[in-house]
Structure 1
């Protein structure tokens, strides 16, 4: 993923994107940059650290962030649900909990960064081909009380979810740095 670090603090036009999609991508880029900054240098045991038997690891939260983006990419751009094969690949990350604790571990940081880059590359390539009107397209969402939800909100939710989990990641990292034993 190529990110223009000179424009990281500017919400505005980006080459290759329509005006409103540029603003959305600008926000997504900043959210991703700060997420990556929060995990620099973490080891596999640190990425797999669980503070208790109900918590999620940093690694599982990173894969969750990518899984949410992939699911919304399919929903809003490709206009389909996950296939059976994609469910096998992403469900542990989407659901987290016990399955995430069992299945998402023993991966180096580069593993998660590659997933981030792969998913984001698909997202940005597709978004570069869309016009601002796409953001306004809406549909009723059963899991939100059958309310009408537009693509702009869905993509706001993608990076809002990332920001939320980045906060969890920072708390977990502080606990590790404060000396909690890494299991």
Structure 2
């Protein structure tokens, strides 16, 4: 899936059109830096909360997978999450109290597995479209138009934003 030898190249990826390749390249770099930020963390560290209102690192990792999954459903399948999918993904998608209650007790491999599983599906789905699909517009936020390119930019932009939180929380975990 990810060619880590070329992680610093935003370039063509065999089997994908040029702009989709570049989008995936950027997503891969964001994911690479996320994985580096959590390398070696224990279950206790992944569950650590700075305060009663904060999100754990584990919850943020699962949030990345849930956002990506939700955008797969929205942009490729043109539908909302089903009740069954909401049961699985909503605590991580919304975070907050539900995330604190439901997302804990997992080792790092659990979260990395979810991230890899969802990213693999993203790769499969992107194989089915071309660059013109990225420009397709639809109603997005607050009744405004957004294209698929922006929506998928937001998937990894959200990860980059929350990765800053991960780094902050990791530095604050008592030794």
TM-score normalised to the size of structure 1? 0.94
The CA deviation at 1:145 is: 2.1
Indicate the larger mover: 4-13 or 59-68: 4-13
Size of the aligned set, in residue pairs, is 175
Unaligned runs of 5+ in 2: none
Is residue 140 of structure 2 the alignment partner of residue 163 of structure 1?
no
Superposed structure 1 runs of 4+ greater than 2 Å apart: none
Distance 2:129 2:88 in 1: 27
- Provide the C-alpha distance between the structure 2 equivalents of 1:169 and 1:145, rounded to a whole number of angstroms: 28
Shift, 1:109, TM fit:
0.4
> Corresponding residue for 1:101?
100
**Residue 112 of structure 2: aligned partner:** 113
User: What's 1:65 paired with?
Assistant: 64
2-side partners of 1:84 and 1:14: how far apart?
Answer: 35
User: 2:82 & 2:142 partners in 1: Cα distance?
Assistant: 24
For residue 91 of structure 2, give the secondary structure of its aligned residue in structure 1.
helix
Unaligned runs of 5+ in 1: none
1:80 aligns with 2:79: yes
> 146, 159, 172: which one pairs with 1:175?
172
CA distance in structure 1 between the aligned counterparts of 2:96 and 2:84, rounded to whole angstroms: 20
Per-residue CA deviations over 1:22-55 (Å, capped at 9, x if unaligned) read 0000000000010011001000000000010000
| Match of residue 4 from structure 1 | 3
Distance 2:168 2:40 in 1: 16
